[in-house]
Amino acid sequence: MRRVSVPWMSAYPSSDGADRARVAPRPAVASGAHKVRIRAAAAPDADAIRTIYNYEVLNSTATFDLVPRSLGEQQTWLANRSGVFSAVVAVVGSSTGPIAAAPPSRPREEVVGFAALSPYKERAAYRTTVEDSIYVRQDRQGLGVGRALLTSLLDLSEASGFHAVMARIEARGVASRALHEACGFRLVGIEREVGRKFNRWLDVAVMQCVLAERPR
């Protein structure tokens, strides 16, 4: 697939010979009183990712999961993602690396959101399309974290030669739909009553960004 160069990422051969995407930290963006940086997720981030995700499992329809993840399940999820499908995190605080690596004398990194790409469909003809997932910690929503994460995924998708990115959003998720629209996504359909959570039927808004048409 076509590759384009972006300043914060490069492709490199892995030990098994396959091309992998390497994500370098993006320039920091302001979020509240702190600056947010985007970097590749690391193993020590698993518990923070799990905490963010499980809040949505228990309290919202941002995910259709019904059962919170254990730490072991989250660690497995993180370990199984590689290359362009590796997770990224939004962090504030020390730039020394993952939480476990920060020295006690300096503020530790704090994960305030995470995101990842996934294959859109199994059939081979869909291989030029991917699907995004983005979660922002409850107290950081509305501060630009989601946009920084989504922009990083779109940059990664384009650099990896993909043609389109899809998003499946619970239809009442106004903020998420607005974020995606601002980043170049368009509504392409509504799936009616395809999920059930909190004793009500849920519709899903399907949105698409054709990467060549995204705003610059």
Question: Where are the domains positioned within the chain?
Answer: 9-162
Given this model, what pLDDT does residue 108 score? 79
Instruction: Say if CB 186 and CB 31 are below 8 A apart.
Output: no
10 band by pLDDT with thresholds 50, 70 and 90: very low
Tell me the C-alpha distance between 212 and 172, whole Å. Answer: 28
Q: Over the stretch 140-157, which tens digit does the pLDDT of each residue have?
A: 999 999 999 999 999 999
Tell me the C-alpha distance between 194 and 169, whole Å. Answer: 12
Alpha helices by DSSP H, listed for the chain, are 46-59, 71-79, 145-159, 174-182
Q: Over the stretch 91-127, which tens digit does the pLDDT of each residue have?
A: 998 654 443 444 344 357 899 999 999 999 999 999 9
9 band by pLDDT with thresholds 50, 70 and 90: very low
Answer yes or no: CATH 3.40.630.30 is held by domain 9-162.
yes
Given this model, what pLDDT does residue 93 score? 86
Tell me the C-alpha distance between 204 and 64, whole Å. Answer: 10
